[in-house]
């Protein structure tokens, strides 16, 4: 295995050299090509072994791990540890619950943050207390079903996957064991996102650097909970017991709940996302299974990477944006007015009746120029 890798490394290095010579009509052209090509050029195992290693401390969404917006130094190997937890979770405050499948105990799983050309080295642990086999497919990675083919872990097993973050952007990851288990696990919460920042940070469409004061991760989740003959949500005793019922409700394509961060109200009231007037917030929104259309009521998407790609020009000044099922997107907004903002999936049936709503609570001074209640409601004269 190692030997083949070495041979492949040698071949691609030779191809790279001959390409550079052929293109190198001028020194500048050759340099530009070689810089780009260097990023794409495979590193040998010994080169990767020589890179600095950092452990990323995972935190539960909506928060992100501590990170630099602009990378310090060259590529690193970022060690990440996910422990799979099958757990009973409340979905709303009316008794709906689910035996969720989670990475590190939360729906969505924790966000990973790295920079382009860093390596992610994930240890995936499936404790023997779990009932089912799991794995992980990273949309940010290349090859082997996004790593899904190399990470099947039965209860009592663990594995380590390393991949290079070659594309800058925000991307979904999710469990994808096999067949019907794939959507079953995804709609039981087993998904999350990774943010791969450009090494020199985010940029606007003119190439100017962008910074954020806060970043929040919102993972939208569709659930398909089954009801009994009396119309009550069925309770189950253990993880996986709902499989047959779930497949039937899933096939209707009609979710019982569409929520942010695992449950109705997970990001409202006391759990509102906080910032102040004048601060810029990066909102990362993922949906592993279903299209969605985020909208900040009373605000805008100043700069929006709808497709999630930071390598492509962002869009600007959007009222509502679109995130395709199986993708993540990011939006930057500088708050200009204090108060409570609802951030919703602007299919308002899904937002209000099914749960896809969050709150931003913004501190600061009201600006009468932007908005003023000239006359409060009174009876019509
Ligand atoms: Cu799974």
Active-site residue flag, 139: yes
Rounded to the nearest angstrom, the distance between the alpha carbon of 116 and the centre of ligand 1 is 27
Rounded to the nearest angstrom, the distance between the alpha carbon of 183 and the centre of ligand 1 is 9
Rounded to the nearest angstrom, the distance between the alpha carbon of 62 and the centre of ligand 1 is 21
Active-site residue flag, 185: yes
Tell me the pLDDT tens digit for each residue of 312-359.
999 999 999 999 999 999 999 999 999 999 999 999 999 999 999 999
Active-site residue flag, 159: no
Active-site residue flag, 174: yes
Fold held by 209-239+253-363: Immunoglobulin-like (2.60.40)
Neighbour tally for 290: CB within 10 Å: 19
At residue 338, what are phi and psi to the nearest 5 degrees? -80, 170
Rounded to the nearest angstrom, the distance between the alpha carbon of 135 and the centre of ligand 1 is 6
Number of alpha helices (DSSP H) and beta strands (DSSP E) in the chain: 6, 21
Q: What rounded mean pLDDT belongs to the chain? A: 92
Active-site residue flag, 300: no
What CATH number does the domain located at 52-203 have?
2.60.40.420
Rounded to the nearest angstrom, the distance between the alpha carbon of 243 and the centre of ligand 1 is 13
Active-site residue flag, 319: yes
Tell me if domain 52-203 and domain 209-239+253-363 are identical in fold: yes
Tell me the pLDDT tens digit for each residue of 91-144.
999 999 999 999 999 999 999 999 999 999 999 999 999 999 999 999 999 999
Rounded to the nearest angstrom, the distance between the alpha carbon of 358 and the centre of ligand 1 is 26
Rounded to the nearest angstrom, the distance between the alpha carbon of 289 and the centre of ligand 1 is 14
pLDDT band at 36; cut points 50, 70, 90: low
The predicted pLDDT at position 41 comes to: 76
Active-site residue flag, 214: no
15, pLDDT greater than 80 = no
Active-site residue flag, 1: no
Active-site residue flag, 190: yes
Tell me the pLDDT tens digit for each residue of 235-256.
999 999 999 999 999 999 999 9
Any idea what DSSP says for residue 106?
B
375, pLDDT greater than 80 = yes
| Encoded tokens for 21 | 């010579």
Nearest residue to 102 via CA among 271, 225, 239, 203: 239
Q: Where are the beta strands (DSSP E) in 60-185?
A: 77-90, 97-103, 112-115, 119-126, 137-138, 157-164, 169-174
Among candidate residues 115, 134, 257, 300, the one labeled active-site is: 134
Among candidate residues 111, 151, 185, 285, the one labeled active-site is: 185
C-alpha 114: how far from chain center: 12
Q: What angle do CA 324, 331, 290 make, to 5 degrees?
A: 20
Task: Determine the average pLDDT of the residues in 224-240.
Answer: 97
Q: Whole-angstrom Cα distance, residue 13 to residue 7?
A: 10
33, pLDDT greater than 70 = no
The predicted pLDDT at position 7 comes to: 34
14, pLDDT greater than 60 = no
8, pLDDT greater than 60 = no
Active-site residue flag, 228: no
Among candidate residues 111, 181, 190, 250, the one labeled active-site is: 190
Task: Determine the average pLDDT of the residues in 154-170.
Answer: 98
Please report, for the chain, the start and end positions of each structural domain, with discontinuous segments joined by +.
Answer: 52-203, 209-239+253-363
| Entry pTM | 0.89
17, pLDDT greater than 80 = no
């Amino acid at each position: 295995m190692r030997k083949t890798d070495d041979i492949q490394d040698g071949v691609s290095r030779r191809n790279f050299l001959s390409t550079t010579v052929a293109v190198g009509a001028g020194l500048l052209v050759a340099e530009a090509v070689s810089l780009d090509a260097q990023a794409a050029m495979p590193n040998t195992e010994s080169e990767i072994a020589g890179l600095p290693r950092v452990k990323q401390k995972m935190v539960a969404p909506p928060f992100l791990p501590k990170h630099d917006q602009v990378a310090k130094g060259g590529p690193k190997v970022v060690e990440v540890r996910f422990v799979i937890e099958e757990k009973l979770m409340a979905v709303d405050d009316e008794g709906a619950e689910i035996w969720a499948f989670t990475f590190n105990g939360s729906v969505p799983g924790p966000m990973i943050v790295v920079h382009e050309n860093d390596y992610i080295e994930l240890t995936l642990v499936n404790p023997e207390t779990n009932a089912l086999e799991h794995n992980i497919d990273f949309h940010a990675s290349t090859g082997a079903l996004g790593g899904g083919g190399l990470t099947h872990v039965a209860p009592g097993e663990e594995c380590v996957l390393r991949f290079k973050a070659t594309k800058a952007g925000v991307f979904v990851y999710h469990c994808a064991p096999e067949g019907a288990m794939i959507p079953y696990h995804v709609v039981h919460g087993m998904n999350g996102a990774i943010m791969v920042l450009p090494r020199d940070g985010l940029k606007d469409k003119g190439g100017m650097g962008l910074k954020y004061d806060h970043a929040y991760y919102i993972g939208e989740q569709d659930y398909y909970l089954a009801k009994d003959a009396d119309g009550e949500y069925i309770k189950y005793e253990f993880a996986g017991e709902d499989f047959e019922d779930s497949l039937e409700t899933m096939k209707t394509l009609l979710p019982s709940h569409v929520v942010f961060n695992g449950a109705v109200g997970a990001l409202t009231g006391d759990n509102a996302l906080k910032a102040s007037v004048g601060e810029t917030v990066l909102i990362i929104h993922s949906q592993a299974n279903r299209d969605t259309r985020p909208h900040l009521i009373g605000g805008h998407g100043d700069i929006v990477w709808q497709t999630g790609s930071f390598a492509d020009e962002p869009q600007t000044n959007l009222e509502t944006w679109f995130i395709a099922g199986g993708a993540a997107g990011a939006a930057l907004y500088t708050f200009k007015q204090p108060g409570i903002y609802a951030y919703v999936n602007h299919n308002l049936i899904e937002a209000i009746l099914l749960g896809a709503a969050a709150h931003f609570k913004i501190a600061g001074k009201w600006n009468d120029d932007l908005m003023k209640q000239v006359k409060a409601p009174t009876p019509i004269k």
